[in-house]
Structure 1
Amino acid sequence: MTQPLPNLEQTVHDASNPKGAGRYRWRIVALLFFATTVNYIDRQVLSFVIADDVFKRQMLGLPAGSIFSQQNNEDYNIIVSMIDAAFKIAYALGFLLMGWLIDRIGTKKGYSLGILVWSIAGLLTGFVHTVMGVRAVRFVLGLGEAANFPAAIKTVAEWFPKKERSHASGLFNAGTNVGIIITALTVPFIIHHWGWRIAFIITGILGFILLIVWHYTYTRPEENKKLSARELSYINSDNEPVTNKKIPWRQLLGYRQTWVFITGKFLADPIWWFYLTWLPKYFVDNTGGDHEFSISTLGIPFLIIYSVSDVGSIFFGWLASRFMHRGWSENKARKTTMLICALCVLPIALAAQTHSMYLIIGLIALATAAHQGWSANMYAIAGNLFPKNVVASVTGIGGMAGAVGGVILAFITGYLINWFGYASMFIIASSAYIFALLIIHLILPKLKPVDTL
């Protein structure tokens, strides 16, 4: 006798709501998803603008219609590296500052400040005329945008029990890919019809909309009148002590757990930054394959790459949670999932060895999906190994390490591409994650929470 198919909506609801705990907390993930999407739209605009010929000539001081020589292209690569480095330097400083600030004034106020700063900077980018002007506004943008992940990870730690945090982190982290996809589908169109300045102005306005939504929507679980007592009890089921005790950075740096997070971010984040900044230009520059792209057709490969990345973020975040629901230790579940992610990145080293654009897009999509899965688990590590009162600070320290790694790579990327081509960057990308996982295991053979804070 044929059995009726299960109700998919009910199955998902049951899986994410053990013992009928309720599901309001997933609305908070939706809010974080929206915030992360806007965050990435605002930061990603420049990556498409740098592929625009008008912007290139303005930054190089060349007249419209002039021939773009090989020397011009090499000079422009260095300019892009310096602009990219300015953002990442500020992002590194901002991570440390925002993580500290959010732990002290609260998630709602701290994140509101970050949104305000990055939205103003994004809007002002549409009015600058020089390389120094672009570098200045990108520096301010980096300071503000650094608030996103410390605030989001602290929110997840406040709203979810430990066994659900990697799943929740994977879901909100998927907003990064959606932000990139939206940018890829809209910004080239805006640039083509109205110019690169309008692209910054329109996307900058989105941040102010987010600020209003965040301010009038977010509250802590204990203050939320729509949250049931049963779900609040489930959220606090880890019996994690609630404290407002302030812990200095120097003390946090004394824990191996902090260095696990620092390592995972320092070695992996720069690779993600490379994708964000250079992939649009890579596709435009790569004229030797079976397809050629212009600023108006870049949306196609990015739609594919970052749709797959979304799946990776959600799947690998879910996978670790699934392993833990089946009784695996956090150490085994987390490291196994991260090993799978690291192995999925290895084939990107072949991207520069093929002329098939289909294969190149596939390899990059697999690598970016694995990175997002890696990130979801790294954020869950920060949320699970540290008490809630220091989660934003630890996330800020790790985020700063990732941004510092990004600064180092940003400074040399233009030179490496000029000397050795994009192949050098793909080789670096392929080995970073497996190397990071090895160091993480050496630092902390068994992942376990700190017990003296």
Structure 2
Amino acid sequence: MDQTARPGVSATSPVQEAEALEKKLRGGSARAGYFRWVICTLLLLGTTKNYMDRQVLGVLKTTLQHDLGWNDIDYGNLVLAFQAAYAVGMILVGRLVDRLGTRLGYALAMAFWSLASMGHALGNSFTSFVIARSALGFGEAGVFPASIKTVAEWFPKKERALATGIFNAGTNAGAIVTPLIVPWIALHWGWRWAFVITGALGFVWLIFWLVLYRKPEEHSRVSKAELAYIRGDPSEPNRKIKWISLFPHRQTWAFVMGKFMTDPIWWFYLFWIPDFLQRRHGLALIKIGLPIMVIYLISDVGSVGGGWLSSWLIHRGKSINAARKIAMLVCA
């Protein structure tokens, strides 16, 4: 059969049409074509807020041990309470986000963990802090399921690695900002206000999220050109997959082993490095911010740079699998 296009009939595929529209956007004809990056910025700020809340306790560890009579074992148990609740929350809160949708699911998670963060200010005993840390961990578990789902809704496949790298940079941004501002708040107004102020920032974020977030198809600020670009990937079948069916796959175990080897180092930096700098290097609370900032700035470069490299390799013709493995190898 003759495949030559007839006059007046387009021979281009939907993907080609979407890419052509994107080129027009990059030419500056429609700046609204970049609204998806506004959504990515909200995700970045949400992740930053998430890591600020979880790191306040680590920054104030020495102060709280002095005021409340804890020892290192007590503090370690508080970290355990957070992580155990976080593990449970990853499954339950992630399921809630799927059921309620990204907009409402993320909003509820943010409100819950922000209240839990502020609730630390009411703590006067080890037990009350265990409750607060558990609630914080459970609520904070929603940030990554919601963010990843948002990226899938708002970005074509070839931009998802970069978008994920950008919002994931919020983990480092939060870890940088917290030791810079929390010691100042604690020294001037007391440690309780450090929890109140950082927790309350979540409700400021919520205003912007609820005002700005809709699905691309429902958003008045998304142009037809940008929507076509976002939806330009070939459609995939939407089917339910049972959890147990993931276990035979090598990819599942590769991911598990990767997290098993890297997360202990990450958690050490997050929860123990402030105390390490104070005890072993004699730094005052107000001075621990700079060395911690250097650590996470380097991590930020890897987060955004790894996402950019993966997306760049895909644009250059590499498969998604090869591009991501090369990016991980370079960062390693």
* TM-score where L is the length of structure 2: 0.87
1:307 alignment partner, one of 293, 297, 300: 297
Q: Would you say the 8 A contact 1:58–1:130 is kept in 2?
A: no
CA distance in 2, matches of 1:129, 1:188: 20
Q: Distance in 2 between matches of 1:263 and 1:157?
A: 25
Identity %: 48
> For the Cα contact (< 8 Å) 1:174–1:310, is it kept in 2?
yes
AA aligned to 1:337 is A
2:22–2:225 contact (8 Å) kept in structure 1: no
Deviates more, 1:299-308 or 1:191-200: 299-308
TM-score normalized with structure 1 length: 0.64
How far apart, in 2, do the equivalents of 1:254 and 1:283 lie? 43
Distance 2:237 2:101 in 1: 14
Matched, 1:30 2:41: yes
Question: Which of residues 60, 74, 82 is equivalent to 2:69?
Answer: 60
Q: How does 1:45-56 map to 2 (within 5 A)?
A: 45-52=56-63, 55-56=64-65
Residue 126 of structure 1 aligns to a residue whose secondary structure is helix
| Contact preservation (8 Å) 1:107, 1:155 | yes
2:135 to 140, 160, 165: 140
Residue 247 (structure 1) shift: 3.6
For 1:161 and 1:25, the matched residues in 2 are separated by 10
| 1:207-231: CA deviation from partner (whole Å, max 9, x where unpaired) | 1222222122211111112111111
Q: For residue 265 of structure 1, what is the aligned residue in structure 2?
A: 259
Amino acid at match of 2:173: V
Q: After TM superposition, list the pairs within 5 Å mapping 1:168-183 onto structure 2.
A: 168-183=163-178
- 1:46 is matched by which residue type in structure 2? L
Contact 2:97 2:106 in 1 (8 A): yes
Report the Cα distance in structure 2 between the residues aligned to 1:134 and 1:309, rounded to whole angstroms. Answer: 30
Aligned ranges 1:22-421 → 2 under 5 Å: 22-52=33-63, 55-60=64-69, 76-241=71-236, 243=238, 245-287=239-281, 292-342=282-332
Q: Which amino acid aligns with 1:320?
A: S
Distance 2:124 2:203 in 1: 24
Q: CA deviation at 1:31?
A: 0.9
Q: Distance in 2 between matches of 1:208 and 1:286?
A: 37
| Equivalent residue letter for 1:314 | V
1:416-445 Cα shifts (integer Å, max 9, x gaps): xxxxxxxxxxxxxxxxxxxxxxxxxxxxxx
Which residue in 2 is equivalent to 1:19?
Answer: 23
SS at match of 1:225: coil
Matched residue of 2:285: which SS? coil
Structure 1 residue 18, shift from structure 2 partner: 4.5
| 1:284, distance to aligned residue in structure 2 (A) | 0.8
Residue pair 1:58, 1:129 contacting (<8 A) in 2 also: no
Q: Distance in 1 between matches of 2:240 and 2:231?
A: 21
Superimposed CA distance per residue, residues 390-436 of structure 1 (whole angstroms, 9 cap, x where no aligned partner): xxxxxxxxxxxxxxxxxxxxxxxxxxxxxxxxxxxxxxxxxxxxxxx
Residues in 1 aligned to 2:99 and 2:251: alpha-carbon distance in whole angstroms: 21
Letter aligned with residue 260 of structure 2: F
The equivalent of 1:4 in structure 2 is none
Q: Tell me, in whole angstroms, the C-alpha distance in 2 between the residues paired with 1:253 and 1:108.
A: 30
Unaligned runs of 5+ in 2: 1-18, 26-32
What's the counterpart of residue 403 of structure 1? none
Distance 1:283 1:265 in 2: 26
Aligned length: 306
SS of the residue corresponding to residue 241 of structure 1 reads coil
CA deviation after TM superposition for structure 1 residue 254, in Å = 4.9
Give the Cα–Cα distance (whole angstroms) in 2 for the partners of residues 20 and 273 of structure 1. Answer: 44
In 2, distance between residues paired with 1:276 and 1:146? Answer: 16
Whether contact under 8 Å (1:94, 1:146) holds in the other structure is: yes
